[in-house]
């Protein structure tokens, strides 16, 4: 009878500890880079408008990873609008995982402002 209680206690302890690791779902804003290395004024660039994208990446056993990168997609859209760069970009991240390392899926939404530098900055 004593072994039964010990086994039950160990099972409950392990189940409590690892119960939240079996499947998790997290949604949070990503890091925002709202500062630049250069001091610019609104006379240095022209705002072309917002650019937005979304995507996902999936990993299995932390070895196989598929998906896209958001920053490069935002920059590509800005260049399609005739822009040179992006500013004030933000990411929102939603993550789902099974046993933390077996399977991870991250869905992200990204947005930024496309800008075009004026001639005096390009020189």
Structure tokens at 114: 């496309």
What pLDDT is recorded for position 79? 95
pTM to 2 decimal places: 0.62
Above 80 in pLDDT, residue 18? no
Segment 16-32 shows an average pLDDT of 58
User: To the nearest whole percent, how much of the chain has pLDDT over 70?
Assistant: 67
Count other Cβ atoms within 10 Å, centred on residue 96.
15
Nearest 5°: phi and psi at 27?
A: -135, 125
Alpha-carbon distance of 22 to 75, in angstroms, equals: 37
Above 70 in pLDDT, residue 21? no
Q: What is the mean pLDDT of the chain?
A: 77
pLDDT digits (tens, 9 = 90+) for 40-76: 777 888 999 999 999 888 888 877 777 767 788 889 9
> Which residue do the tokens 């001091």 mark?
39
pLDDT bucket at 32, cuts 50 / 70 / 90: low
């Amino acid at each position: 009878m004593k072994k039964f209680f010990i086994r039950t206690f160990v099972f409950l302890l392990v189940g409590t500890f690892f119960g939240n690791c079996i499947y998790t779902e997290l949604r949070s804003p990503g890091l925002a880079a709202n500062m630049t290395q250069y001091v610019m004024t609104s006379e240095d660039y022209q705002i072309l408008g917002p650019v937005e994208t979304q995507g996902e990446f999936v990993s299995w056993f932390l070895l196989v990873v598929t998906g896209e990168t958001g920053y490069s997609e935002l920059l590509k859209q800005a260049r399609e609008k005739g822009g040179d760069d992006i500013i004030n970009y933000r990411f929102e991240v939603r993550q789902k995982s099974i046993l933390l390392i077996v399977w991870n899926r991250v869905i992200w939404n990204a947005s930024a402002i496309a800008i075009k530098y004026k001639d005096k900055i390009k020189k």
